[in-house]
A = this chain, B = another copy of it.
Amino acid sequence: MKAEIITIGDEILIGQIVDTNSAFIATELNKIGIQVHQISSIQDEKEHILSALKEAESRADVIIITGGLGPTKDDITKYTLCEYFNDTLVQNDAVLEHVTELFKKSEHKILTKTNVQQALVPSKAIVLHNENGTAPGMYFNKENKAFVSLPGVPYEMEALIKNLVIPKLVSVYNTPCIYHKTIVTQGIAESILAEQISDWEDGLPDFIKLAYLPSFGIVKLRLSAIGNDKIKIEAAVAKEIEVLLDQINNVVIGFDEDSPEISIANLLINKKQTLAIAESCTGGLIASSITQNEGVSTFFKGAVVTYYTQSKTDVLNVDKEVIDEYSVVSGAVAKAMALSVKKKFDVDYAIATTGNAGPTKGDADAEIGTVFIAIATPVEVVVEEFNFGKNRFKVIQRAKNKALQLLRKEILSAK
């Protein structure tokens, strides 16, 4: 079973938005054993859409189309699908009722002419109810191939895929088994890791593929197996991972969707311990990353972002003399911030960051990219200095990941 994803809209092609939808759809299709063979982003022009549909139909069994279903004049997907399937639009009463309801509840109240058009659907389509928005999903069957058209708004599309499209595809098709297992490592460079596991990699059976996915100090190793027997391929992957873990256990922080944030959450929730954060150069990113995940209010008490030098004294009581003597980007200040926020929030562990993310030097003399990270534990404070390069975004991201890595190490080494 092969699938293709077609995303429609100039916004991706001119780089105004990033295509997050395809990643989501690909993940969900993979879970039910449908491999995405190609993702194509094309213009919302009739001829381009028609030829992309034709090409995809010639190569794939399932074609998922996103975008171009909005209420505005630049949205032409529905009309083009009508032409492709030689169909006409008819009013769908359920959709009209839903759109009317949505507008009653909204801050805008009035249903416009444009909104009413959302209730027009091709007669050959099975309507997929979009609980989160006005544009319905549409499912077409053509010679045992499935064409699914979905709105481009991510959370609307996501609910449609999970609740309606995936169950439908599972009920219609017999699919081979695809199994992915990802090992998440932190604190080792891709090339060093590759060297270290080279013999193991060479010994992998043909039906298991390995991919390296590096990102800001984290390298994910993804094993992908394909076969007809689900239990057999899962067992084969498990066996390979067992051997691998023996070799790299010290750098593994989790599996699959695990992240430094989730790894920390699991550790602290298990130990019933708490965390607070004092951020300067990371500007709130560590707190924000931790609170992206649900259920963190059991261990994460809060954070203080002291972006101004003066605020480090005013809000975190960092001794002005320490700042004057060591400079604001220093181990001494990181240590003082960690201890202060630990006390303030009455927690077991605290992280503090102070650094120079660039692109220009701030109040400190420190080189751009210099970051001091302090971890306060129940018994001590450890401080390390890093240089994460000259790219502001990269410096902030890597400082965030490194801080979580250091915290993890301290939690694990605690008695």
Contacts and interface: CB of A to CB of B under 8 A. Distances in A.
Contacts of A107: 189
A222 interface: yes
Interface string A277-303: 101001111111011101011001111
A289 to B, nearest CB: 8
Contacts of A263: none
Contact of A36 (B14, B19, B304): B14
Contact of A191 (B38, B72, B213, B288): B72
A176 interface: no
B191 A114 contact: yes
A305 B292 contact: no
B283 A287 contact: yes
Interface stretch (A81-89, A354-362, A370-378): A354-362
A201 B10 CA distance: 17
A284 B301 CA distance: 12
4 interchain residue pairs of minimum CB distance: A283-B291, A284-B287, A15-B27, A15-B26
Given A15-B22, A19-B19, A114-B195, 19 more contacts: A10-B224, A13-B38, A14-B27, A15-B23, A15-B26, A70-B190, A72-B191, A73-B201, A108-B189, A114-B194, A115-B191, A155-B393, A284-B284, A285-B291, A296-B307, A302-B304, A303-B304, A303-B305, A315-B344
